[in-house]
Amino acid sequence: MRPRQLWVYVTIYITLIGLLLFLNYAAYKHPGIQYISVDFYGSVCYQLVILQVLLLCLLGAYNSGSAIRDEVTGKSYDFFRMLPISAAKKAVGILVGKNLVVLLFAAINFLLLAIFARLGQVNASLLQQTVFALISLALLANSVALLASINPTSQRKKGGVATLIVLILFVGPFLIRALAAAWRLKELGDIKARFYTVELPAIVLVGLVALYFSVWSIIGILRKFTREDEPLFSRTGAYLFMVGYEVVLLGLFYTHLGRAGVIASWVNYCYWVISLVPALAVPIGSIRSFEKYLEHCGLMKAQSAENKSMMPRMLLYSNLSLDLGLFVIWAVCSAATTLIAGLELWPHLYLILVVFSFYLFLVLLLELYVVCTPISNKIGLLLAFVALLYVTLPVILHAILDSEALYLYSPVGFLFGMFRKPNAGLAVPHTVWLMNLLLCAASIAVIWKRHVHILKTRRAM
């Protein structure tokens, strides 16, 4: 906001707005039209919406995501941590303070939107819905960018301007096409969507969903500012996020599950795949380290009798207990959608069991990373390679050997195979889950041995 810097941004902004108006005027006057109609103003209005999206969701998110990096590279992050203000004020300070110029131009854009919408006779309700969705999406993009950047130990000086230029070069052609087709945005006002049995404008529903996940993102920011050494999700937070995600997703799929025939089965499987994403992602954000295990063993040792086994409580504290709880939530919701869709339950329960065998091995690899990190700091690379082979090798062999069912031994191949044979018509060989159980048994043996080692190490301290 300093005058010697602000004039640069003001010049760029005025130039962009001037070019937008000039190009539209030139394109409109080219056929020889003697007067300016409402179509011209409406087209400019919709193009300003696209510009507003880029301003708030792209440039604003870039500024929010670079705040912590700038503190680290400027060697002022320790001072930032020790500021005697709350985490909420720090978050607001970054989200607003780093985007003062962006917010100023966004306010001017909203004013221009209102003027051109009035001149172009754009539906006032559509304009209000669009503004609400824009603000919600901007809040989500900025908060997610800030949350993703709160990892000061891995921040390095990077070419931020160069990255932004490359991004613009890639996004530029798509931006031009979006501006050219911006008039089609008026059709969005007529699109309705249902959340369970409530009918809402599609734009409003998008804004509400974005606002809901923005709340979770802000909660994550406050947690990372308050408890730097703790994982992103607490146990309670992980379960609540998983349940909330399933409830929101089920609301979006609910009316489509009532369709008859193959479509209901495909919609059901789409819900399964999309709802499985947090069950795979949340464990990574909730992971407890080897040092946390040692610390917890010390607390258990101080609180328990000498001859009492600590292994059961250790396993309840481990990452695996959370991972299994998340899968139970997914399995219950997936069974519920199967019933809502009017499909046979027992064949689908068998598919859920097979999915569990895949899921269990993947979370066991994650636990192996935690307990084996002290042995080698490169163990994560090896386990990531194993996971990559586990997912891709059966699909590759299926293509090479032209096998009918080999792709089912991959979790990705199995999930996509369900769509090829809907209504639980996929014939899954028993060797699929048997092979997964063998892999899980080998992993569990190593994990058990390492947990015993953790307990013995703590007793010796």
> Average pLDDT over the chain, rounded to whole?
85
* The pLDDT value given to residue 160: 47
Number of structural domains the chain divides into: 2
Q: Is the pLDDT of residue 308 over 80?
A: no
- Please name which of 280, 104, 285, 134 lies closest in space to residue 214, comparing C-alpha atoms: 134
Q: Are 84 and 48 within 8 A, CB to CB?
A: no
197 is a domain residue: no
Give pLDDT tens digits for 416-460.
Answer: 888 887 766 677 888 999 999 999 999 999 999 998 888 887 777
Q: Are 90 and 83 within 8 A, CB to CB?
A: yes
Read off the tokens for 342.
């009017």
More confident residue, 252 or 30: 252
Rounded to whole angstroms, the Cα distance separating 317 from 319 reads: 7
Token match 């996004």: residue?
171
One domain for residues 187 and 301: no
The model's pTM: 0.86
At position 5, the amino acid (one-letter code) is: Q
124 is a domain residue: yes
8 is a domain residue: yes
The fraction of the chain above a pLDDT of 70, given in percent, is 86
More confident residue, 129 or 158: 129
Helix (H, G, I), strand (E, B) or coil at 426: coil
423 is a domain residue: yes
| DSSP H or E segment with residue 328 | helix 319-340
Q: Looking at 165, 191, 217, which one is the last position of a domain? A: 191
143 is a domain residue: yes
* The pLDDT value given to residue 136: 93
* The pLDDT value given to residue 461: 66
One domain for residues 394 and 282: yes
Q: Looking at 191, 209, 235, which one is the last position of a domain? A: 191
Q: Is the pLDDT of residue 305 over 60?
A: no
- The model's confidence at residue 159, banded by pLDDT at 50, 70 and 90, is very low
Average pLDDT over residues 163-186: 52
Dihedral sign, Cα of residue 199, residue 209, residue 281, residue 323? negative
Q: Is the pLDDT of residue 150 over 50?
A: yes
* The pLDDT value given to residue 222: 94
One domain for residues 149 and 275: no
One domain for residues 12 and 110: yes
One domain for residues 187 and 290: no
Write the CB contacts of 116 (distance below 8 Å, at least 6 apart in sequence): 41, 42, 44, 45, 48, 122
Q: Are 145 and 64 within 8 A, CB to CB?
A: yes
Q: In Å, how far are 2, 129, 457 from 460, measured between CA atoms?
A: 60, 63, 5
One domain for residues 407 and 309: yes
205 is a domain residue: no
* Secondary structure (DSSP) of 167-195: HHHHHHHHHHHHHHTGGGGGGGGG-EEEE
248 is a domain residue: no
- Domain carrying residue 109: 1-191
212 is a domain residue: no
Q: Is the pLDDT of residue 44 over 50?
A: yes
- The model's confidence at residue 252, banded by pLDDT at 50, 70 and 90, is very high
One domain for residues 147 and 1: yes
One domain for residues 185 and 276: no
Q: Is the pLDDT of residue 39 over 70?
A: yes
Alpha helices in 341-378 (DSSP H): 345-372
Q: Looking at 191, 218, 240, which one is the last position of a domain? A: 191
Q: Is the pLDDT of residue 278 over 60?
A: yes
